[in-house]
A and B are shown apart, each in its own frame.
Chain A
Amino acid sequence: MDADHSAALLASVHEALAQKTSLQITGGGSKSFYGRQPAGKPLSVANHRGILRDEPGELVITARAGTPLAEIEAALGARQQMLAFEPPHFGPGATLGGTIACGLSGPRRPYAGAARDFVLGARIINGRGEILKFGGEVMKNVSGFDAARLMTGALGTLGILLDVSLKVLPRPQHEITLTQACTAQQALEIMTGLARLPLPLSAACFSADTLYLRLSGSESGVRAAQKKIGGEPLSNQEAFWLQVREHTHDFFQGKTLLWRLSLPPAAPLLHLPGQWFIDWGGAQRWLRNPLPADVIRATAVKLGGHAMLFRGGEHTGSVFHPLPPGLLALHKRLKNVFDPQGIFNPGRLYAEF
């Protein structure tokens, strides 16, 4: 099924340019809920798939954007490696391209890095119908502006991702998750205190009066850290973190709006009604409540953070945290130099471009 569809994708872009229509870039459709409502003629990159280069010893994998994320993870898993940012799939169809375009990361993010931290290079089609390659397949590279990382989280508004090279890491030899019952306030204090110590933490979240701390590393190292931290080992830890990553955990069920707040990790508990799920050691907080966006955003800003509407409600208004005017203008200029006719995913990120 591996196939190079870049020529066909390029032709579609030229056609859209000629006909002055816009394109809605799709992969497996697993994250179509994310961001503002897509517009334009659907253009699927799902057939453009296949792992191109897989170099275990180099800690790099390069694959076409339509390659299923599961296929990449299976290839890495077979040799005890992993995508250390633990990308959420949000559905069986998740592709590499969609993963990078959305730029989402899972529970390991504060300790290992985000999607953007692992992007080494990318080949794209820009809005002029040109195929461009940025970055590369080596660990360190400062030739030219870092346009490959810029694609991460841009939701396809700057170009169509064709192939992506990612840095991969060895899987930890050993992992354990420790739980303890506490209040949200205590959980924050514990997470903040532990983060200041040299411990092999790899995830830390709080939900339903329980704090979950994951440790990763060599068996002896994990055991030593476990002694210092205390708490009850969680027997089904893999299933638990999978639920957190995939939002299949109970907290994420139901129809109430789901807000994502990105905050300085030690920021105090927010006085907003609703249910909370604290992840990333305090740096990512999920809130379920139907309050007006302004109230939630203002509260997050006061604590040095920002807020976005992740799921639920109408995704036609402003979904991502609004940008200050100067920054918005700069975004429009950048969009314009990559996609002058505005054909890629118009309005998916912000209404203005």
Chain B
Amino acid sequence: MPESAPIPLSHELNALVMALRRILPQEAVLAGAEEMRPYECDGLTAYRKLPGVVCLPDNTRQVQEILRLCTQMQVPVVVRGAGTGLSGGALPLSHGVLVSLARFTRILEIDPDNRTARVECGVRNLAISEAAAPYGLYYAPDPSSQIACTIGGNVAENAGGVHCLKYGLTVHNVLGVKVLTMDGELMELGGHTLDAPGYDLLALMHGSEGLLSVIVEVTVKLLPKPERAQVVLAAFDSVAKAGAAVTEIIGAGIIPSGMEMMDNLALLAAEDYAHAGYPVDAAALLLCELDGVNEEVSELIFQVRELLLKTGAHEVRTTRDEAERLKFWAGRKSAFPAVGRLAPDYYCMDGTIPRKRLPEVLTRIAELSQQYSLRVANVFHAGDGNLHPLILYDANQPGELKRAEEFGAKILELCLEVGGTITGEHGVGVEKLNQMCAQFTPTELAQFHEIKYAFDPKGLLNPGKAVPTLQRCAEHGAMHVHHGNLPFPELERF
């Protein structure tokens, strides 16, 4: 629902803009419709809204003043990093302030001996590894959006990446954050040590989607670059076989540094876009990366090749050099934009399932695709059971967006049904509020609201995102598979 006309500045909004201009430089406050346009949505472009006003602070003190002012004037605040989020977490509020932290780009310290980097929240994910590279170190989590997304946004979403199978998610790679609570108080959670006294509030910040605090600084753990990394590519004539191969490899006690799968539509698109050299006849493509000590990698590559052939791969290729390895990953990492070229619009889903249910879930997704007459390309972090079905649609065709959303909702229900979750790494945002009603009971949701209350008693930080109101869930009662006569008894025991 794009808004074309500029929103009229209400009386309060006017006062707010004036007050903000008193605490920030002129160019750091945007209130005109056209200059605010770039902030009207994040990566979930189907939802758009112009904010009341945009602020572009460039230091913590300025953010503190914005938050204090907003607390005083009871104005809601939405924080934005790079706006690559895929669940509408950074969707503005028309009566609120959008605080962009894009100017927080200073790398404050690289400490090679302690293997840490202390950076401002707006530093791009990839920029950290670039800054650490001269020391032979890098930051492990590598979301496909890593050229653009910010480390603050990564913490807020607990972002993952293709290397998270072995090296963990953002939460496993951050040692400390400095945050501001809504009343402008600066707090340090964690720091430069492996643990901190008191509750694990550092963990709680991960995936909190900008509802609990504004993260202004992040200290991440750096790792030594592995001596060797090599990718084995395997082509299969069925997705089920590729799924079985994943289970075999993990079952053999091997933890690859990445294990990614693409179905035919996704790999064709990626090949067309990035010319990675993928076998275009494959029904499913598996990329399995092994890294570590030279000798160990040799051993593992051999083992993995055997397992892949045993599970029915009709083509197995090992990268010959670093250039080819990077090319293989470039194809995978560009899968979203590549698929994006197949249709005017695509809707990226993100659910996690127990690995072993992969074949059955894929079959059901294919059936749904027929039922909704919408094509779907599948990209997965297969090792983690994290699915990204990309539903292709055309928003200009009446009813297609709605159909795509319904299709997406069905996929998430399916993930829950098989004992999984409605979001592995993209967050709930505004997108999956209804599915939250299915995954959690009203008392659990109430507890989430109370956690938010402990941080933000006035409910001014990113209100309305991530955790649905109980009222919304009551209205959305049909989704309550969790407590209905669910034919999946294991769900209750989770």
Contacts and interface: CB of A to CB of B under 8 A. Distances in A.
B125 interface: no
Nearest to B446: A130
B451 interface: yes
Interface in B166-212: 168-169, 171-172, 181, 185-189, 191-201, 203-204, 206-208, 212
B420 interface: yes
Interface stretch (B246-254, B319-327, B361-369): B246-254
Contacts of B189: 327
Contacts of A235: none
A154 B195 CA distance: 13
A200 interface: yes
B64 interface: no
Interface in A321-353: 321-324, 326-327, 330-331, 333-334, 336-338, 349-350
A308 B197 contact: yes
Interface string A118-153: 000101001000101110111111111111011011
A223 B293 CA distance: 10
Nearest to A225: B293
Interface string A28-72: 000000000000000000000000110111111010000000000
A150 B200 contact: yes
B432 interface: yes
Interface of A: 52-53, 55-60, 62, 80-81, 103, 109-110, 113-114, 116-117, 121, 123, 126, 130, 132-134, 136-147, 149-150, 152-154, 158, 163, 165, 169-171, 173, 192, 195-200, 217-218, 220-225, 262-266, 280, 283-284, 304-306, 308, 320-324, 326-327, 330-331, 333-334, 336-338, 349-350
A190 to B, nearest CB: 12
Contacts of B420: 136, 138
Contacts of A308: 197
Nearest to B212: A145
B312 interface: no
Nearest to B293: A221
B263 interface: no
A337 B447 CA distance: 8
B292 interface: yes
B100 interface: no
Contacts of B187: 324, 326-327, 330
Contact of B115 (A58, A117, A153, A195): A195
A283 B194 contact: yes
Given A132-B443, A149-B203, A170 B255 contact: yes
Contact of A126 (B296, B426, B447): B447
Contact of B207 (A145, A217, A222): A145
Given A143-B423, A262-B194, A263-B193, A117 B168 contact: yes
A113 B166 CA distance: 11
Nearest to A219: B299
Nearest to A195: B115
B289 interface: no
A105 B448 CA distance: 28
Given A57-B250, A138-B420, A330-B455, A262 B193 contact: yes
| Contact-residue size bin, chain B (C-beta under 8 Å from the other chain) | 35 or more
A143 B429 CA distance: 10
B162 interface: no
Contacts of A196: 112-113, 115, 135-137, 224
Contacts of A217: 292-293, 296
A154 to B, nearest CB: 6
Given A146-B171, A331-B199, A218 B299 contact: yes
Interface in B286-333: 292-300
Contacts of A336: 454
B250 A138 contact: no
B68 interface: no
Which of A123, A143, A153, A326 lies at the interface centre, i.e. has the most chain B CB atoms within 10 A of its CB?
A143
A335 to B, nearest CB: 8
Given A138-B353, A170-B255, A224 B294 contact: yes
A137 B250 CA distance: 16
B110 interface: no
From A110, A121, A220, name the one whose CB has the most chain B CB atoms within 10 angstroms. Answer: A220
A50 B443 CA distance: 26
A138 B253 contact: no
A330 B194 CA distance: 21
Given A142-B428, A330-B187, A337-B451, A109 B194 contact: yes
B452 to A, nearest CB: 8
Given A169-B255, A171-B253, A330-B454, 11 more contacts: A62-B494, A113-B172, A132-B441, A132-B444, A142-B427, A142-B428, A144-B436, A144-B439, A198-B292, A266-B114, A304-B192
B194 to A, nearest CB: 5
Contacts of B260: none
B424 A142 contact: yes
A341 B162 CA distance: 44
Contacts of B299: 218, 220-221
Given A154-B199, A221-B299, A334-B199, A266 B113 contact: yes
A143 B453 contact: no
**Which residue, A55, A192, A280, A334, has most C-beta atoms of chain B within 10 A?**
A334
B194 A110 contact: yes
A265 B111 CA distance: 11
Interface-centre pick from A139, A149, A220, A280 (highest chain B CB count, 10 A):
A139
Interface string B210-223: 00100000000000
Given A57-B251, A142-B158, A198-B226, A338 B198 contact: no
B413 interface: no
B421 A143 contact: yes
Which of B137, B293, B425 has the most chain A CB atoms inside 10 A of its CB?
B293
Contact of A53 (B185, B204, B207, B493): B493
B201 A330 contact: yes
29 contacts: A57-B355, A60-B354, A116-B200, A117-B168, A117-B171, A132-B443, A139-B384, A140-B352, A140-B385, A140-B386, A140-B424, A142-B423, A142-B424, A146-B171, A146-B204, A149-B204, A150-B200, A153-B200, A196-B224, A200-B292, A200-B293, A220-B298, A265-B113, A265-B114, A265-B115, A266-B113, A284-B194, A333-B453, A337-B454
A58 B455 CA distance: 35
B432 A143 contact: yes
A140 B255 contact: no
Contacts of B298: 220
Most interface-central of A133, A141, A146, A327 (chain B CB within 10 A): A141
B32 interface: no
A342 to B, nearest CB: 15
Contacts of B452: 145
B402 interface: no
A171 B254 CA distance: 10
A291 B191 CA distance: 25
A165 B421 CA distance: 14
Contacts of A218: 295-296, 299-300
Interface string B385-418: 1100000000000000000000000000000000
B273 interface: no
A142 B204 contact: no
Nearest to A334: B454
A262 B454 contact: no
Given A334-B454, A350-B198, A143 B422 contact: yes
